[in-house]
């Protein structure tokens, strides 16, 4: 039997590209009737981490084939994808459809911001499957957005009050919505139009699992009209940490892990003075997360005030108005930290630049995670059983933080509505209080996170909910194969 070819069209950003590649790897491991080609749309917004990740895989022995689509454009995501429609179709025709060595094209797997590529699938006569890199609750909101707009005729406003949003258990305060939903010129209309197009997909693949978002998954399947089949196949996580290895050399990675090895683990801490399970709180704010000097000083003071052992991934913000990843401080973190901080905390803390996030979260000494609440980071924290302190910054992270704290009881709040462009500063007392709370061994959040950790691992094994959903998706693709 000839293989069925799937062409993946991701947004070239780490948070989108990496989980889609992990999904593709699992597909190939699961069923040898498929082959996969990934079209990588190069752009000025192509982050160095995503670029290095794609390049390393292309040069490896992976069976996944990579094709670069070269065009320059200033804007990212939606307009960028629209601009590439003709180039993408041409690349598929030349490298897949007309290639005698390629399997017959069975469909496209398109990113949530590349819905215009559904047109390419239609023109080629193959089904398109949407890969939604965020969670099921956010997918529910995305699908609800067009019908709401048809009713009220406008974007959300900060004074709308408590909002009942499909997929979320509790009403959401309009003042805490991500900026994209409050500003028509800031992307609201674009995102609403994506929501309309989601319904045109043959199926929607979501990087979550039913036991985590049972309410949202039920909503998608039963409460919203005209929703394509939804496949909760997560968590799709880069457990081999290939992406981390690309931005952190082995020597520095080993230094961080050696420092963690030297920290007391749970059994020693309990025996000494009844301290909570695991002694270190990890602070890391994603590939794009950084703070100004005033906020950095408050975080440092909060850490010192808490007395908790810490590993802090601290990076310098990129130049203003530049789309770039934060850089490491060239002359060391002391240039921005309070005077005497490093000396005062040298016995209990380590400040670094990039950190191998998954390796850190997997370490027995790590008991808490101060996070920006990106969905990939949330899935990683749950996989390794490490409770989060929520510090959302951009994109849909405010919604993720709300869901984790209010709907699921799986995180501790430092802020739910923080925005890194608002100019507000979280004070040291708030930071210290949240860190102490998440590290409290009696906190019910810790127990619930451990339960979700077990459920996340069971979900992707044979007999699990995500394993079963994956099987249904495979059957669907092969059944619809031209």
**pLDDT band (50, 70, 90) for residue 476:** very high
Average pLDDT for 199-212: 98
pLDDT digits (tens, 9 = 90+) for 370-422: 999 999 999 999 999 999 999 999 889 999 999 999 999 999 999 998 887 77
230, β-bridge pairs: 204
Residue-level pLDDT at 100: 76
CA 465 – CA 457 distance, rounded (Å): 10
Is residue 76 over pLDDT 50?
no
Q: Examine the domain organization and report whether 222 and 290 are in the same domain.
A: no
Q: Examine the domain organization and report whether 400 and 434 are in the same domain.
A: yes
Q: Examine the domain organization and report whether 270 and 195 are in the same domain.
A: no
Q: Examine the domain organization and report whether 229 and 376 are in the same domain.
A: no
In a domain, 40, yes or no: yes
Q: Examine the domain organization and report whether 320 and 430 are in the same domain.
A: yes
Residue-level pLDDT at 50: 67
CA 34 – CA 128 distance, rounded (Å): 15
- Domain residues for the domain of 172 are 4-238+462-480
**pLDDT band (50, 70, 90) for residue 180:** confident
Average pLDDT for 315-343: 76
CA distances from 409 to 212, 394, 404, 414 (A): 11, 22, 6, 14
Which of 402, 412, 472 has its CA nearest to residue 446?
Answer: 412
Residue 38 belongs to a domain with what CATH number? 3.40.50.2000
Phi, psi angle pair for 367, to nearest 5°: -120, -5
Question: What's the total number of domains in the chain?
Answer: 2
* Cβ 23 vs Cβ 131: under 8 Å: yes
- Sign of torsion, CA 434 435 438 443? negative
Which of 444, 452, 405 has its CA nearest to residue 276?
Answer: 444
Residue-level pLDDT at 78: 58
Q: Examine the domain organization and report whether 148 and 11 are in the same domain.
A: yes
Q: Which residue has the tokens 């997360």?
A: 289
pLDDT digits (tens, 9 = 90+) for 51-64: 677 777 777 778 89
Q: Which tops the pLDDT comparison, 264 or 122?
A: 122
In a domain, 243, yes or no: no
- Average pLDDT value for the chain: 87
Q: Examine the domain organization and report whether 234 and 127 are in the same domain.
A: yes
CA distances from 238 to 20, 54, 69, 287, 376 (A): 10, 13, 24, 15, 10
Q: Examine the domain organization and report whether 301 and 213 are in the same domain.
A: no
Average pLDDT for 88-94: 92
**pLDDT band (50, 70, 90) for residue 334:** confident
Is residue 185 over pLDDT 90?
no
Q: Which residue has the tokens 């309309």?
A: 196
Ranges 278-292, 337-351, 387-401, 451-465: which has the least confidence: 278-292
Q: Examine the domain organization and report whether 375 and 300 are in the same domain.
A: yes
Q: Examine the domain organization and report whether 24 and 153 are in the same domain.
A: yes
Q: Examine the domain organization and report whether 283 and 432 are in the same domain.
A: yes
In a domain, 244, yes or no: no
């Amino acid at each position: 039997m000839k293989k069925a070819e799937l062409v993946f069209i991701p947004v070239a950003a780490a948070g989108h590209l990496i989980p889609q590649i992990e999904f593709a790897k699992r597909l190939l491991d699961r069923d040898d009737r498929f082959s996969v080609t990934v079209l990588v749309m190069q752009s000025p917004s192509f982050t160095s981490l995503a670029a290095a990740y794609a390049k390393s895989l292309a040069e490896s022995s992976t069976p996944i084939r990579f094709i670069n689509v070269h065009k320059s454009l200033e804007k990212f995501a939606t307009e960028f994808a629209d601009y590439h429609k003709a180039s993408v179709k041409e690349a598929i025709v030349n490298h897949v459809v007309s290639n005698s060595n390629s399997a017959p094209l069975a469909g496209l797997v398109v990113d949530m911001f590349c819905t215009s590529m559904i047109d390419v699938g239609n023109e080629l006569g193959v089904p398109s499957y949407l890969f939604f890199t965020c969670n099921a609750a956010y997918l529910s909101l995305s699908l609800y957005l067009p019908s709401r707009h048809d009713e009220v005729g406008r974007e959300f406003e900060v004074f709308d009050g408590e909002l009942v949003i499909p997929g979320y258990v509790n009403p959401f305060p309009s003042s805490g919505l991500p900026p994209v939903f409050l500003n028509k010129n800031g992307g609201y209309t674009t995102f609403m139009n994506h929501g309309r197009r989601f319904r045109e997909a043959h199926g929607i693949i979501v990087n979550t699992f039913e036991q985590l978002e049972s309410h949202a998954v039920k909503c998608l399947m039963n409460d919203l009209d005209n929703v394509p089949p939804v496949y909760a196949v997560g968590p799709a996580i880069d457990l081999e940490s290939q992406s981390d290895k690309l931005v952190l050399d082995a020597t520095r990675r080993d230094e961080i892990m050696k420092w963690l090895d030297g920290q007391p683990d749970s059994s020693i801490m309990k025996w000494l003075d009844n301290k909570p399970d695991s002694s270190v709180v990890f602070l890391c704010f994603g590939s794009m997360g950084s703070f100004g000097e005033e906020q950095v000083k408050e975080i440092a003071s909060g850490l010192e005030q808490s007395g908790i052992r810490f590993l802090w991934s601290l990076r310098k913000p990129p130049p203003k108005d530049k789309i770039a990843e934060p850089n490491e401080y060239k002359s060391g973190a002391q240039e921005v930290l309070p005077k005497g901080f490093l000396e005062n905390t040298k016995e209990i803390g380590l400040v670094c630049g990039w950190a191998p996030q998954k390796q850190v979260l997997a370490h027995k000494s790590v008991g808490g995670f101060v996070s920006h609440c990106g969905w990939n980071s949330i899935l990683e924290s749950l996989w390794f059983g490490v409770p989060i302190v929520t510090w959302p910054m951009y994109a849909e992270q405010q919604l993720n933080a709300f869901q984790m704290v209010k709907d699921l009881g799986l995180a501790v709040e430092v802020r739910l509505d923080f925005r890194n462009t608002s100019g507000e500063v979280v004070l040291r007392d708030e930071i210290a209080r949240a860190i102490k709370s998440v590290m409290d061994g009696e906190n019910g959040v810790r127990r619930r996170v451990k339960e979700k950790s077990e459920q996340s691992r069971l979900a992707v094994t044979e007999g699990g909910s995500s394993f079963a959903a994956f099987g249904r998706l495979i059957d669907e693709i092969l059944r619809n194969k031209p």
